[in-house]
């Protein structure tokens, strides 16, 4: 399995946010307002938690007014509002939730599965594509989609799986030849007892997104 360079994920300058809460294998990340538009469902994020670096897949976007402020329609768009009130973003919560699917140790070795929990305020980063490849390879650098088992552990959601493939299509394309990559995907989802309808949708979506029909 390939290593990732964990040292590239350090400090506040490139962070997209901070860990705000932890509930089992699900984490909520408060995202810096200026970075919020960059993060989508299906994206892979890495958390710098010292020795260990938990890796999550975004499964929900959260954007709302702070409870003490409440929300009132102003008949003004967000960009117009910020021109009038430059600090308007402090009135809102920008956050995402994600499911833990893997972690990297201090040497950069990646392990698929639930890892050690992060700490509150740990910086969180958008993983680079060259590092994401390690999540789709086994110890012999052969395509492997075991990560999907952990992605769908809590909620077997075909839309989440579809968005995960969409957001990581470029990474998946680089894993190897079409036949080998599809076989790796097929082998995992057919062992998960997802049901015929889910299975058909997953296969159709995968082939369509990858352009392999």
Domain ranges of the chain: 6-210
Q: Which of 79-83, 140-144, 165-169, 204-208 has the lowest mean pLDDT?
A: 79-83
Distance from the first to the final alpha carbon of the chain: 29
Give Cα 191 distance to the centre of its chain: 23
The stretch 99-111 carries a mean pLDDT of: 94
- Asked whether the predicted pLDDT for residue 128 surpasses 90, the reply is yes
Going from the C-alpha of 188 to that of each of 22, 154, 184, 193, 194, the distances in angstroms are 28, 17, 7, 10, 11
The stretch 93-121 carries a mean pLDDT of: 93
The stretch 15-40 carries a mean pLDDT of: 94
- Asked whether the predicted pLDDT for residue 189 surpasses 80, the reply is yes
What whole-number percentage of the chain has pLDDT above 90? 73
The stretch 60-75 carries a mean pLDDT of: 64
Q: Which two tokens stand for residue 201?
A: 């949708």
Residue 139: what pLDDT? 85
The stretch 3-31 carries a mean pLDDT of: 94
The stretch 83-111 carries a mean pLDDT of: 82
Residue 172: what pLDDT? 97
This prediction's pTM: 0.88
Rg (CA), the chain: 18
Q: Which of 21-35, 53-67, 146-160 has the lowest mean pLDDT?
A: 53-67
The stretch 122-138 carries a mean pLDDT of: 95
90 confidence band (pLDDT: 50, 70, 90): low
Residue 1: what pLDDT? 58
Residue 162: what pLDDT? 97
Q: Which two tokens stand for residue 94?
A: 């920008």
- Cβ pair 149, 140 in contact under 8 A: no
Residue 72: what pLDDT? 57
């Amino acid at each position: 399995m390939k290593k990732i360079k964990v040292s590239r994920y350090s400090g506040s300058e490139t962070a997209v946010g901070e860990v705000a809460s932890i509930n089992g294998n699900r984490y909520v990340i408060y995202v810096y307002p200026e970075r919020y538009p960059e993060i989508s469902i299906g994206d892979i994020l890495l958390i710098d938690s010292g020795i260990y670096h938990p890796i999550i897949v975004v499964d929900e976007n959260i954007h709302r007014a702070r409870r003490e402020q409440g929300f009132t329609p102003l008949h003004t768009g967000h960009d117009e509002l910020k021109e009038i009130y430059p600090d308007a973003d402090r009135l809102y919560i920008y956050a995402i939730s994600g499911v833990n699917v893997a972690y990297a140790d201090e040497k950069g070795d990646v392990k698929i599965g639930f890892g050690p929990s992060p700490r509150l305020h740990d910086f969180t980063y958008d993983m680079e594509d060259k590092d994401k490849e390690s999540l789709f390879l086994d110890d012999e650098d052969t395509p492997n989609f075991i990560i999907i088992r952990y992605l769908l552990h809590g909620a077997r959601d075909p839309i989440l799986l579809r968005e995960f493939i969409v957001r990581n299509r470029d990474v998946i394309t680089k894993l190897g030849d079409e036949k080998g990559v599809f076989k790796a995907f097929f082998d995992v989802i057919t062992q998960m007892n997802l049901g015929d309808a889910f299975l058909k949708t997953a296969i159709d979506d995968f082939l369509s997104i990858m352009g392999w029909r």
